[in-house]
Amino acid sequence: MISVPELSLVVLVGVSGSGKSTFARRHFKPTQVISSDFCRGLVADDENDQAATPAAFDLLHHIVGVRLARGLLTVVDATNVQQSARESLVALARRHHVLTDAIVLDVPEQVAIARNAARPDRDFGPGVVIRQRKDLRRSMGRISREGFRKVHVLRGAEEIDAAAVGYEKAWSDLTHLTGPFDVIGDVHGCRAELEALLARLGWQGVRHPEGRTAVFVGDLVDRGPDTPGVLRLVMDMVEAGTALCVAGNHEQKLVRALDGRKVRIAHGLRESLDQLAAQPPEFVARAKAFMDGLLSHYRLDGGRLVVAHAGLKESYHGRASKRVRAFALYGDTTGETDEYGLPVRLPWAEEYRGRAMVVYGHTPTTRPEWVNNTICLDTGCVFGGHLTALRYPERELVQVQAEKMWYEPVKPLGTGLARDPGTLDLGDVIGTRHVETRHGGRIRIDESNAAAALEVMSRFAVDPRWLVYLPPTMAPPETSRLDGYLEHPHEAFEELAAAGVREVVCEEKHMGSRMVAVLARTPEAAAARFGVRDGTCGAVYTRTGRPFFADTGPLTERLRAACAPLWDELGSDWVVLDCELLPWSAKAGELIRRQYASVGAAARAALPEAVAALEAAAGRGLDVGELLARTRRRSSNAALFREAYARYCWPVDGLEGVRVAPFQILACEGRATALEPHAWHLATLGRLDAPLIAPTRHVFADLDSPASRAAATEWWESLTAAGGEGMVVKPAVHAPGRVQPGIKVRGREYLRIIYGPDYTESLDVLRRRFLGKKRSLALREHALGLEALSRLADGEAAWRVHEPVFAVLALESEPVDPRL
């Protein structure tokens, strides 16, 4: 039985005619096997064109490299009888931190020659095989020292035919263990604190009554008062199967010292050596064997959790190489040292974008902080700080205070990484991207849309730390066939009922400007959750992320005051609200004057004169009757149009007259509340009582009841007859799947603002409108919005929240009929 690592490069070695391809076909998937003949064919249209060999191997190396980078087992089917050929493959695998096994197929010369002779495409003589065998012979002596993890040699056709291939898991692969885990930071010989922490975590001896598994991040030893005690406890737990431990740099060095190798006795190594010297030799031997056998890192819980002493970047997860081990033990260092003589570390975590949570220690900080789904648990217990554990999957931190400062630190403890969560990386947003969302699957963002969004985001949007959500676009219903109507509630009800929605809420559509409000209770809460440390407590912005006014501070402050009851109601120090800012003219004054009032002014100046001229012509007996009637009608449409926009304008002086209608609580601490039923949103927000707050009128409708539908329709008629914009029909509770989260049904008069004063004259033409794209965008943007809120509520990193928000903006750059 030949056993190869699950992720490895398998190099077949054997002369032409030794049966490599047959062997590969029998034991591996066709896609796993890359043969030199195949590559030669690709680059030369002839598998036997020896002149193409260098190009063929270039291609082979490229394919193998791409596969290994993607974590795929790969088999190279080439003769590989020369050392140089094998060397380059071993080096390639190393570059990808993948182990390499060789399988040598050694058949008698005559067998190979006979096989080649039987194949019409092999037109070379026996000399080739003889030469290759000579190379192979020469190789066999030293092949085991060429960097292969294992060299499997199969001698003779019989042994080759009988061989079976099995797979072994990487040592670091404990993905089948699902926990729950208690990951424990650097102990450094602090036995008492470790025992206290385990007790606080609920451990009884070496076992936890709920079957939890402890995972130590390494650096059990050195500096502290009782390294042997810590080792004994951890070894007992590991032997009992209730704990795992990865290697720390201090264990590594201690083993070397115990082996009698020359090491510099520093950084608390002296303490360990002295303490161990007082132990019986059997214990020292056991401890040394334990420490020597520790692995660089573990992948746990289906790969969702990675534990390594100094952390591990994503491309190293599950890989094995000296470089991976060095990274896991020492972190990513520049090779330079700082003014304290300590290595300068590179902030790999800041660039970490992997999905696995990485838990590590190594760098003592005063407070553990999440950085891009990674966390360092070394809180300097031995330096008088804390010993910290992370409960997984709860993401809960448990700490005990050090009894005393056991060891003087060389330099003061850092405050975590000097990182500002506002720093985003361009790589997180540009190019064609796929954003994974939990409520809408994987959403593709085109490169060109991302480019457009980058410009808008960079030049016009508010500070991205506040920009935690952008509202999705909303589709209108199917076009109504009712005489005189373009939109009517009937189609909205039908659409949602067909999607399986039983109850809807019809909310008044405020005719103002969409506004997202992000509010924090205190500057401290703003700093803690949003990383904004300039003392501001919130921000309000438009549907494209722009500030409403030059200074939105006063409005934010007023809104924060008005929303104060929410802090206790939600049990959160921050909240994100979806609102409408009223009146329309407060934000859109410029647009109204330029666009709407201008059209109205021109129409109301021109049409009456046209009517007068036509009346005069009619008076002369000219046949202008039809044109006159039409022009009169248009003149009255122009007046209605003017009424339509003027209704939503009222003068505001500063903030006097401005009102805010919050209609949904998007998120607060730990909760993406956007998923809550609308009844809860409206009731909670309905309790806000401040002059600034405008209520959102609404009715619920049972779609199974024609009477209930009729009542809601009547409500809509009365709203719009009184000049209202219309209503939004939403599933009363979150409807998963491809169900529109809201459908806007706009009033007849309001639509004059959208389709023009005379739209009622050409309804038949306008009914041909195409909703598909708008609807699809609405669904995708909704999923992205929910994703941003969920990530925010889960406390994920800034860039993780920014990604779906940016994606919404990118999708908004898609051209779509602006009247929809």
Partner 1 sequence: MLLTITNTARPATDLGFLLHKHPARVQEFRQSSGTATVFYPEAGEERCTAALLLEIDPVALARARGKGSPDFSLSQYVNDRPYAASSLLAVALGEVFRTARAGRCAARPELPGTALPLELTLPALPCRGGPDLAHRLFEPLGWEVEARSLPLDEGFPEWGESRYVRLVLRGSVRVADALNHLYVLLPVLDDGKHYWIAPDEVDKLIRAGEGWLRGHPERGLITRRYLGRRWSLARTALARLAELGDETEEHLEPALAEDAPPEATAADEAAAAEAEAAEAEATGAEAAASEKAAEPEVKVRSLSVRRREAVLGKLTELGATSVIDLGCGQGELVGALLSRPAFTRVAGMDVSPLALTIAARRLRLDRMPDARRARLTLFQGALTYTDKRLSGYDAAVLMEVIEHVDPPRLAALERVVFGHARPRHVVVTTPNVEYNVRYAFLTGLRHPDHRFEWTRAEFAAWARRVAAEHGYTVAFEPVGDDDPEVGPPTQMGVFTRDQRS
CB 819 within 8 A of CB 479: no
CB 791 within 8 A of CB 801: yes
* Distances 746 to 285, 479, 595, 650, 678 between C-alpha atoms, Å: 81, 11, 20, 21, 20
CB of 65 to partner 1, least distance (A): 21
Tokens of 122: 């092999």
CB of 552 to partner 1, least distance (A): 12
Q: Closest CB to partner 1 among 602 and 683?
A: 602
Separation between Cα atoms, residue 371 and residue 368, nearest integer Å: 9
Residue 289, class by beta-carbon neighbours within 10 Å (0-12 exposed, 13-18 middle, 19+ buried)? Answer: exposed
CB 101 within 8 A of CB 151: yes
- Counting contacts by CB under 8 A, is residue 819 touching partner 1? yes
Residue 771, class by beta-carbon neighbours within 10 Å (0-12 exposed, 13-18 middle, 19+ buried)? Answer: middle
Separation between Cα atoms, residue 732 and residue 679, nearest integer Å: 7
Residue 745, class by beta-carbon neighbours within 10 Å (0-12 exposed, 13-18 middle, 19+ buried)? Answer: buried
CB of 406 to partner 1, least distance (A): 34
Q: Closest CB to partner 1 among 167 and 340?
A: 340
Residue 344, class by beta-carbon neighbours within 10 Å (0-12 exposed, 13-18 middle, 19+ buried)? Answer: exposed
* Distances 110 to 11, 17, 106, 336 between C-alpha atoms, Å: 24, 10, 12, 59
Applying CB under 8 A, among 2, 128, 157, 430 the residue interacting with partner 1 is 430
Interacting positions 636-655 with partner 1 (CB under 8 A): 638, 642, 646, 649, 651
- Counting contacts by CB under 8 A, is residue 459 touching partner 1? yes
Interacting positions 324-383 with partner 1 (CB under 8 A): none
CB of 322 to partner 1, least distance (A): 25
Which residues, listed in sequence order, are joined to residue 103 by a DSSP beta bridge?
A: 12, 152
Q: Closest CB to partner 1 among 331 and 583?
A: 583
Choices 242-250, 282-290, 319-327, 625-633; region in contact with partner 1 by CB under 8 A: 625-633
Interacting positions 553-612 with partner 1 (CB under 8 A): 590, 593-603, 605-607, 609-610, 612
Q: Closest CB to partner 1 among 747 and 757?
A: 757
Interacting positions 726-765 with partner 1 (CB under 8 A): 753-758, 762, 765
CB 138 within 8 A of CB 146: no
- For residue 148, give the 3-state DSSP assignment: coil
Q: Closest CB to partner 1 among 48 and 598?
A: 598
CB 145 within 8 A of CB 83: no
Q: Closest CB to partner 1 among 497 and 606?
A: 606
Choices 279-287, 324-332, 370-378, 419-427; region in contact with partner 1 by CB under 8 A: 419-427
CB 519 within 8 A of CB 538: yes
CB 605 within 8 A of CB 635: no
| Other CB atoms within 10 A of residue 625 CB | 10
Q: Closest CB to partner 1 among 3 and 337?
A: 337
Tokens of 691: 């002059």
Torsion, Cα 727 733 736 737, to 10 degrees, reads -30
- Counting contacts by CB under 8 A, is residue 616 touching partner 1? yes
DSSP secondary structure of 543-582: TTS-BSSS--HHHHHHHHHHTTHHHHHHT-SEEEEEEEEE
Q: Closest CB to partner 1 among 735 and 771?
A: 771
Applying CB under 8 A, among 766, 771, 776, 814 the residue interacting with partner 1 is 766
Applying CB under 8 A, among 455, 524, 704, 714 the residue interacting with partner 1 is 455
- Counting contacts by CB under 8 A, is residue 140 touching partner 1? no
- Counting contacts by CB under 8 A, is residue 767 touching partner 1? no
Choices 34-42, 60-68, 170-178, 451-459; region in contact with partner 1 by CB under 8 A: 451-459
Q: How many residues at the interface with partner 1, by CB under 8 A?
A: 67
Residue carrying the six token digits 């006795």 = 265
Q: Closest CB to partner 1 among 87 and 643?
A: 643
- Counting contacts by CB under 8 A, is residue 620 touching partner 1? yes
CB 676 within 8 A of CB 730: no
- Counting contacts by CB under 8 A, is residue 805 touching partner 1? no
Separation between Cα atoms, residue 82 and residue 553, nearest integer Å: 73
- Counting contacts by CB under 8 A, is residue 702 touching partner 1? no
Interacting positions 79-118 with partner 1 (CB under 8 A): none
Interacting positions 509-548 with partner 1 (CB under 8 A): 534
- Counting contacts by CB under 8 A, is residue 417 touching partner 1? no
Q: Closest CB to partner 1 among 130 and 602?
A: 602
CB of 35 to partner 1, least distance (A): 37
- Counting contacts by CB under 8 A, is residue 614 touching partner 1? yes
CB of 820 to partner 1, least distance (A): 11
Contact footprint for partner 1 (CB under 8 A): 420, 422-430, 448, 451-452, 454-455, 457-459, 463-464, 534, 590, 593-603, 605-607, 609-610, 612-614, 616-617, 620, 622-624, 627, 630-631, 634, 638, 642, 646, 649, 651, 753-758, 762, 765-766, 818-819
